[in-house]
Structure 1
């Protein structure tokens, strides 16, 4: 077995080779256990207001009873949730799941076009939206089959006087809430009150029921809904829990949740894994406000934080961050995009804690590989496949490649999605007859079973027949002290087919293109050198901070 799975011989002590995805009957069963064990512990906190596990139980029950008793939704119906990190999110999400319905996580930053596609494609019956984004819902509503809109203000659950003040400031001072009017919409607090009057009927939920429609691929074309079942989520929660193992202390952890919970990484890692541990989740509503974020981190000791490379980089470059007391911090997990060595090394230097890189996809719920938690320092790898997970490298014909060869990373395990919602052909293209999910990531495996991402297939740059991987170029340029952020893309070139272009956000305003090129010449072979260096004030990113190379590549075509 270890011949085919060399990683098992290198598992951290105590981590089993397999998990039992049937240990819990559903995601709500995990919540029920946490509530029974940790009823009086704080489950979530946001802007100074807390929600205990007992309160989460009562309010999510009320929301579930509203959906079934008032709206008369039936098992399998879809409910869209469109909001940033706030106390309403976990109440609504667990309410939807407890009602036997499916959550359609919806990015609140969506344009009308993107939202229309997702609501129509998912066939959502109801949508819960924060006031800031109500205008977008209003604009697309006539084109959808949504029967009920539920609205809420960011301050609605923050108590008096803070809640009304927050809502007033957002609307009238910061002008962040455009006027909108949706006929028949109901406020979230009113929905909870109505639900409170209803009994919650017994709901049969199976592991094969769809818990989440998690949309993905919007940066590469039409967004597709990955069908994540209760089994997928329970399995991935157990896989990650076993991996963290003895480092996690039930009832004693405090995790910083800066990535939005509507993103699969935070949803599973923070929302489920740490919920099972009875942890306190500190919800950061707007992590882009870095000074405000750092203030929040200074306010309360925290033991764990998850994030993407740009988030960690942003914190490291924010005044005051290095003054935080990091003595309670025991776990830092990076995923969602490649962690850059320069960022990881600086994180270790400032916090004393290794930035452990993990790898996953929306389609794998998300964790597929994680580095050992006791890793002494950044190693450039995405880690080892988690328990009950197979991984391999395949060539373009589908044949498995030996150790050290670069090919497409493929994943198989209980966390792999059921398929894409109403897209059988896309599902067949992604998951082969043997159950392998083709990730679209180019990678290699070493003899110990550690995997290394070389790059996305579609991001590869071809210079005179040589493959250039943007991650490698970006890693090298990011080592320069004067560089804050960098993206590498391929541009058309008459002589070599493509040439490497880097777009840089400077930390040092005096940094020149010639200095960048000289640095690249020191660290990269000739064909990998950036021919073009461009400086900008910012790079285009997704809402979770992943740099959008595609947008940068498409720019000349827009011109």
Structure 2
């Protein structure tokens, strides 16, 4: 006889760690408080240059004052940042917030069409663009009403000699900077000079005011901006900080930041949470350069590192990984994609530190659950964050109260977004009247309140921590004049988690898989590209 599963007679599973914080504070208020505590401590380092918290805040206020005084900008305007992990990123991001404006993150690897689509949807009034992406300006500017475009050299905050050496290598050795017309754009260094002559005025904003438009496909696959307020992000800052409080020492932590900060997980950890602890963030410009990253790791006695399964695997493959000093490492933080327990166990065997996996979504600012270091259980997403509730429902949206039973995961807490930008109908579909957010993920829980992701209800492919929505890739394939129809699916990948596969029906013979791949490359950034294309006479029904 099979024993029955335990039943837990509650409608939701709240966090076991109580938390209280001042809910009247905005991100600007929080930054001002932290400045008093950590002004002289190092905040960010990148390739030989370090900014203290005081320097970072002072520079960010120059950015803020310039934006405030610009005649065509106003409080509440959306301002885009299209930058990789450089010292400029936190300076610009906090400058936008201190101007009372809204951050819109863009991937610097986006194609012109991807960039244009997001900039137009967000109605941006200003755009901070990396020089490695500045060639996009010529292709998209005519379709925008964007009175301020700022071109940022990746090493603008380094000393003169270093700055010029690094820029020479980028432009002439790596050919990473393509020509573009510089008319009607402003250089970042000129913006700083002009911002220095203007006094910063603290804007009057409320916790409920918008702080960020972070784009995602959500559980619907439609590319939309998740509206994250000051209250959302401040709440998640305190939730994560409180959850990790037993394992961190204020002012003493050194965190490695290899994941792109334009991604919400990395942004929250390295531009928000670490400020509460006065931590020192080491920015990795190009985490795909694994030997270069290992060389940087060897320079620091770091205490924590963020990453995804793909990165942990790639690091451990190199023999030089074992030459790194891990004596200070407390834990690694995994986010963005499912963590392979075998990879996590090997990491702990080699470094002596566990990998703590959690669950998050852009719409949740982003963290909803995490594994506690004291009882880390590989294969699970841990327990709900402080002030967070999680529950499961069946197909009829009845609440599931039995353990080890699969259902759709819902989350409620102060980190749940305000809604989707310009999509009120999608907001109503995904957030109910009681504040519960439908995630589109399938999960189960056990008797000790540990949760496990078991699958997805939504159509989404997760490639190395990046969400790929089949509808977007299909739209590109179907736009080719010789394509009749297509279907895009995910395939398991031993390193990247999943890869993209496309089935394509052609209108007539002649077009090859390589032709289609080349066409997609002009429309989609690299992680969205189909790695496999199968030409078929009829689309498969059960894929």
TM-score in same-fold range (> 0.5): yes
Deviates further, 147-156 or 65-74 = 65-74
In structure 2, distance between residues paired with 1:196 and 1:448: 55
Query: Are 1:327 and 2:311 matched, yes or no?
Result: no
In structure 1, distance between residues paired with 2:271 and 2:87: 12
**Residues 344-378 of structure 1: CA distance to partner in whole angstroms, max 9, x if unpaired?**
11111111111110110000000001111223x54
Structure 2 residue ranges without an equivalent (≥5): 1-7, 462-488, 504-520
Corresponding residue for residue 457 of structure 1: 457
Corresponding residue for residue 19 of structure 1: 20
Correspondence for 1:4 among 6, 10, 31 = 10
Corresponding residue for residue 136 of structure 1: 136
In structure 1, distance between residues paired with 2:51 and 2:536: 49
Secondary structure, aligned partner of 2:298? helix
**Residues 171-207 of structure 1: CA distance to partner in whole angstroms, max 9, x if unpaired?**
1121110000142111111101101111112311210
Partners of 1:21 and 1:231 within 8 A in 2? no
Secondary structure, aligned partner of 1:169? helix
- Tell me how far 1:137 sits from its aligned partner: 2.4
- Taking a change above 3 Å as real, the CA distance of residues 443 and 162 of structure 1, as seen in their structure-2 partners, is same
Query: Are 1:405 and 2:405 matched, yes or no?
Result: yes
**Residues 215-268 of structure 1: CA distance to partner in whole angstroms, max 9, x if unpaired?**
011997442100000000000011101100121111101101111111110111
In structure 2, distance between residues paired with 1:249 and 1:5: 36
Alignment of 1:121-160 (within 5 A): 121-160=121-160
In structure 1, distance between residues paired with 2:379 and 2:422: 37
Corresponding residue for residue 101 of structure 2: 101
- Tell me how far 1:108 sits from its aligned partner: 0.6
Query: Are 1:210 and 2:210 matched, yes or no?
Result: yes
Corresponding residue for residue 367 of structure 2: 367
Query: Are 1:176 and 2:150 matched, yes or no?
Result: no
**Residues 134-175 of structure 1: CA distance to partner in whole angstroms, max 9, x if unpaired?**
011221111111111001111221112110011111111211
Corresponding residue for residue 447 of structure 1: 447
- Tell me how far 1:554 sits from its aligned partner: 6.9
- Taking a change above 3 Å as real, the CA distance of residues 353 and 82 of structure 1, as seen in their structure-2 partners, is same
Structure 1 residue ranges without an equivalent (≥5): 462-469, 479-483, 493-539
TM-score by length of 2: 0.84
Corresponding residue for residue 392 of structure 1: 391
Partners of 2:220 and 2:459 within 8 A in 1? no
- Taking a change above 3 Å as real, the CA distance of residues 238 and 351 of structure 1, as seen in their structure-2 partners, is same
- Tell me how far 1:17 sits from its aligned partner: 2.2
**Residues 399-418 of structure 1: CA distance to partner in whole angstroms, max 9, x if unpaired?**
11122211111111100000
Alignment of 1:280-299 (within 5 A): 280-299=280-299
- Taking a change above 3 Å as real, the CA distance of residues 349 and 95 of structure 1, as seen in their structure-2 partners, is same
Partners of 1:6 and 1:448 within 8 A in 2? no
- Taking a change above 3 Å as real, the CA distance of residues 51 and 460 of structure 1, as seen in their structure-2 partners, is closer
Deviates further, 178-187 or 119-128 = 178-187
Secondary structure, aligned partner of 1:381? coil
Secondary structure, aligned partner of 1:275? helix
Corresponding residue for residue 467 of structure 1: none
- Tell me how far 1:113 sits from its aligned partner: 1.0
Secondary structure, aligned partner of 2:374? coil
Secondary structure, aligned partner of 1:392? strand
Alignment of 1:330-349 (within 5 A): 330-349=330-349
Corresponding residue for residue 119 of structure 1: 119
Partners of 1:138 and 1:182 within 8 A in 2? no
In structure 1, distance between residues paired with 2:43 and 2:400: 45
Secondary structure, aligned partner of 2:80? strand
**Residues 27-79 of structure 1: CA distance to partner in whole angstroms, max 9, x if unpaired?**
12222122111111111001110001111121111100000113452111010
**Residues 1-40 of structure 1: CA distance to partner in whole angstroms, max 9, x if unpaired?**
x95388668x4xxxx3243361x61112222122111111
- Taking a change above 3 Å as real, the CA distance of residues 8 and 67 of structure 1, as seen in their structure-2 partners, is closer
- Taking a change above 3 Å as real, the CA distance of residues 353 and 191 of structure 1, as seen in their structure-2 partners, is same
Higher relative contact order (CA 8 A, sep 6+): 2
- Taking a change above 3 Å as real, the CA distance of residues 180 and 57 of structure 1, as seen in their structure-2 partners, is same
Secondary structure, aligned partner of 1:449? coil
In structure 2, distance between residues paired with 1:46 and 1:262: 16
Corresponding residue for residue 428 of structure 1: 428
Corresponding residue for residue 506 of structure 2: none
Partners of 1:391 and 1:409 within 8 A in 2? yes
In structure 2, distance between residues paired with 1:361 and 1:424: 19
- Aligned pairs, number: 484
- Taking a change above 3 Å as real, the CA distance of residues 8 and 395 of structure 1, as seen in their structure-2 partners, is closer
Secondary structure, aligned partner of 2:288? coil
In structure 2, distance between residues paired with 1:352 and 1:161: 39
- Taking a change above 3 Å as real, the CA distance of residues 333 and 50 of structure 1, as seen in their structure-2 partners, is same
